[in-house]
Amino acid sequence: MESQVRGGTRWKRFAVVMVPSVAATAAIGVALAQGALAASFSVSGQSFKVTAKELVGTGFSQYGAYDKGVDGNHAVAVSAFDKATITKMCQSVVTPNIPLIGTVTLRLDAGDSNKDSGKVHAKQLYIDVQDLEADATFTNIDIGVAAGAINKGPRQKQGEVEGKQTSPGGFAQQADQAVLKEVKQTAWATTAGTFQLSGLKMSLKKGSGEGVECY
């Protein structure tokens, strides 16, 4: 059961081209903030932090897999949603020891609105989670689903979800709906077929830790 990288960023290379790419990134950010552009977003190769005040997702499934990091393989629980609406989302990733700069944290904040039009909307959303804290409510949940029988979450074909093969005899669960509140998690990848980030704010800050990262 091997995790295939679904897009990503090589952060050392990113650091080298950071300055000339800021203007283009800012333009994309403005378009996203105005709801004019839907985009796929993925970070892989190292862990990052994610928080959300609330995530409401339909067509939920979860199963075990592993991701390839820069320091080896890491076991993850893949959470998949057909559709998800997220309130007050934050994602942050730390790039340590950049030459002449030091440690830098890239942070994205979006969906800071109680109106539906001002929230983050995602389709075909996958989150490869290492650890998770949240208040969770599941509707019509099945736990311990047999491998290959996941049918409520997004999938390419029976038993295969976005390039990840469910493990025979492995743990899995699915539900019609999942509501997660006060979410705090460490993840290895986030991918969405479309990711509409209303009110997007992107910042690059020196250092890491509380007050710089999401938590």
Handedness of CA 200, 13, 3, 188 (dihedral sign): negative
What is the distance between the alpha carbons of residues 99 and 91, in angstroms, rounded to a whole number? 24
Query: Do the domain assignments include residue 211?
Result: no
Query: Tokens representing 45?
Result: 């190769």
Query: Tokens representing 63?
Result: 């199963």
What is the distance between the alpha carbons of residues 89 and 119, in angstroms, rounded to a whole number? 9
For residues 126 and 191, the answer to whether their CB atoms sit within 8 Å is: yes
Query: Do the domain assignments include residue 214?
Result: no
Query: Do the domain assignments include residue 212?
Result: no
Residue among 79, 83, 8, 6 at smallest CA distance from 38:
83
Query: Do the domain assignments include residue 1?
Result: no
Q: Please give the backbone phi and psi of residue 176, each rounded to the nearest 5 degrees, phi first.
A: -65, -40
Query: Tokens representing 149?
Result: 């029988």
Strand, coil or helix: what is 18? Answer: helix
Query: Do the domain assignments include residue 134?
Result: yes
What is the distance between the alpha carbons of residues 46 and 53, in angstroms, rounded to a whole number? 24
For residues 104 and 128, the answer to whether their CB atoms sit within 8 Å is: no
Strand, coil or helix: what is 14? Answer: helix
* E-strand stretches of 19-151: 48-69, 72-98, 102-110, 120-139, 142-143
Bridge partners (DSSP) of residue 110 are 89
Query: Do the domain assignments include residue 37?
Result: yes
Domain that holds residue 55: 11-206
What is the distance between the alpha carbons of residues 65 and 5, in angstroms, rounded to a whole number? 12
Quote the number of domains for the chain. 1
pLDDT, one tens digit for every residue, the chain (215 residues): 444 444 444 444 444 444 433 444 444 455 555 444 444 455 556 789 999 999 999 999 998 887 776 677 778 889 999 999 999 999 998 988 888 889 999 999 999 988 888 999 999 898 989 999 999 999 999 887 655 567 777 754 334 444 454 555 667 889 999 999 999 999 988 888 888 889 999 999 999 998 999 99
